[in-house]
Amino acid sequence: MTEPVDAPRKTKVIRLQTVGCRLNQYETERMAAKLYPFGFRRAADGEPADLTVINTCTVTHRADADCRRLIRQAARRNPHGRIVVVGCYVDHDPEVIAGLEGVDVIVPNRDKDAIDRILPARLPDLFREAPDLSCSPFIEDFHNRNRAWVKISDGCNQWCSFCIVAIVRGRLANRPAADIAAEINALAAQGYREIVLTGVNIGYYRDRGREPQIRSLAGLCRFLLAETDLARLRLSSVEPQAVKDDLIEVFAESRGRLCRHFHLPLQSASSEILCAMRRPYNQAIYVQRASRLKAAVPGTTIGADVIVGFPGETEEHFEQTRRLAASGLIDYLHVFSYSDRPGTAAAALEGKVPAAEVRRRNRILADLSRRLQRANLERQVGRTLEVIAEHRSEPDGAYFALSDNYLRVKLPASAYRERALVPVAVTAAREDYLEGIPVGSPAPPA
């Protein structure tokens, strides 16, 4: 929902900060929508805030450290403001969060959606007036973004041995399809042309609780494409074993409305390591599903998560992963160095890989990812892509935009169109982005 305008009450300033994934980013905007009716407006850069809400992540030790840094920073910059910490790090280590200076309230994941009831009871000095009940119940604006995320599910039943997400978010819970469509239509009414469907494990989406009964992610995509006039629907990370025939069919039949971009977590190409990770697929399944997606719609970009240094990973295990990544099937990698997360099964495994070797393997795959990405960029030269601008501009006045196949394109400031799809003729490939000319614009001087 949009922020209240000219509300007949004293406006208070709220700063909302997010660490982590798109699901967290969605949930931050959901909390904002629930708090705006109490007379809050979003803080400008550098502006003191009456209330700071920090939505945390705990997927790695670095994420934990980032959360603690933001909390300390908020306490230092807003000595008279109140600080609320929510989310995954709260579930993982509530004692640490509660012990940090300046923290007034902590809210676990299960209570995020009730923040509009929790904070008035815990911080009554900031919530003296009743909320404006005329405000929309849906998110209608994503702060400083020209694309929006919509949550379709939470939690996970997969219980990978290295992952703490199922511990802090619980079992898989799917959102009703009708509610998802209604929220997308509310965002589309505000001019959003691309929506990203997000969740912990969206490939296992099911909605059996009410009409219409939808039994797969493919069924949800068909429903949303029929019930909305959205130009672009993008899927966030999908587990490779969840890419079934019906999803490939709806992708091929969507005529570009389902983005040509799939992020399929690999983690390792070694069957032995995948088994130790409790990943329910092998290299052959991964290759088959990724290959079929690329064959179904030419120009599709495939991305992958990879973990290096998992306990017991030998040089040959790593080489299997490197060879698959270098095969040309995958177009970019997100490379993570393994670290123990207390409470996970992998933390108790023997065969820990030395830190220096983990760093070496990370560098090798990061360098490979840059080469893969550059090759994908070079294939786009001479083609026309439809792009949506990023909200912020660059120091030189230009701005970056994102294509449906997940490539960044640099354009002149004169081509900026907020939230709009802009067709662009690609003229050049740089190290990590493309350059182009909006179709119909005059060519630049030679």
Report the C-alpha gap between 305 and 266 in whole angstroms.
6
Report the C-alpha gap between 267 and 263 in whole angstroms.
12
Report the C-alpha gap between 113 and 175 in whole angstroms.
13
Task: With cut-offs at 50, 70 and 90, classify the pLDDT of residue 445.
Answer: very low
CB 54 within 8 A of CB 22: no
What pLDDT shows up at residue 391? 80
Between 141 and 393, the higher pLDDT residue: 141
CA neighbours closer than 13 Å in the CB half-sphere of residue 5 = 2
Report the C-alpha gap between 152 and 398 in whole angstroms.
34
Percent of the chain with pLDDT over 70: 96
What pLDDT shows up at residue 5? 47
CB 199 within 8 A of CB 237: no
Prior bond of 212 cis (ω within 30°): yes
Task: With cut-offs at 50, 70 and 90, classify the pLDDT of residue 444.
Answer: very low
Q: Which residue has the tokens 């999908």?
A: 238
State mean pLDDT over 187-199. Answer: 96
Q: Assess whether pLDDT exceeds 70 at residue 446.
A: no
Q: Assess whether pLDDT exceeds 60 at residue 211.
A: yes
- Which CATH fold would you assign to the domain 144-259? Transcription Regulator spoIIAA (3.30.750)
The winner for highest mean pLDDT among 53-62, 357-366, 392-401 is 357-366
Domain coordinates in residue numbering, the chain? 12-126, 144-259, 384-438
CB 289 within 8 A of CB 240: yes
Percent of the chain with pLDDT over 90: 86
- Which CATH fold would you assign to the domain 12-126? Rossmann fold (3.40.50)
Q: State the first-to-last Cα distance of the chain, in angstroms, to the nearest integer.
A: 46
What pLDDT shows up at residue 2? 53
Report the C-alpha gap between 324 and 173 in whole angstroms.
33
Q: Assess whether pLDDT exceeds 80 at residue 410.
A: yes
Single pTM value for the model: 0.91
Q: Assess whether pLDDT exceeds 80 at residue 347.
A: yes
Q: Residues 135-183: pLDDT tens digits?
A: 877 788 899 899 999 999 999 999 999 999 999 999 999 999 999 999 9
CB 187 within 8 A of CB 140: yes
3-state SS string over the chain?
A: CCCCCCCCCCCEEEEEEECCCHHHHHHHHHHHHHHHHHCEEECCCCCCCCEEEEEECCCCHHHHHHHHHHHHHHHHHCCCCEEEEEEHHHHHCHHHHHCCCCEEEEECHHHHHHHHHHHHHHCHHHCCCCCCCCCCCCCCCCCCCCCEEEECEECCCCCCCCCCHHHHHCCCEECCHHHHHHHHHHHHHCCCCEEEEECCCHHHCCECCCCCCECCHHHHHHHHHHHCCCCEEEECCCCHHHCCHHHHHHHHHCCCCECCEEECCCECCCHHHHHHHCCCCCHHHHHHHHHHHHHHCCCCEEEEEEEECCCCCCHHHHHHHHHHHCCCCCCEEEEEECCCCCCCHHHHCCCCCCHHHHHHHHHHHHHHHHHHHHHHHHHCCCCEEEEEEEEEECCCCCEEEEECCCCEEEECHHHCCCCCEEEEEEEEECCCCEEEEECCCCCCCC
- Considering the segment(s) 384-438 as one domain, its CATH architecture is Beta Barrel (2.40)
What pLDDT shows up at residue 133? 84
CB 14 within 8 A of CB 43: yes
Q: Which strands sit side by side in the sheet containing 332-337, from one edge to the other? A: 261-263, 301-308, 332-337
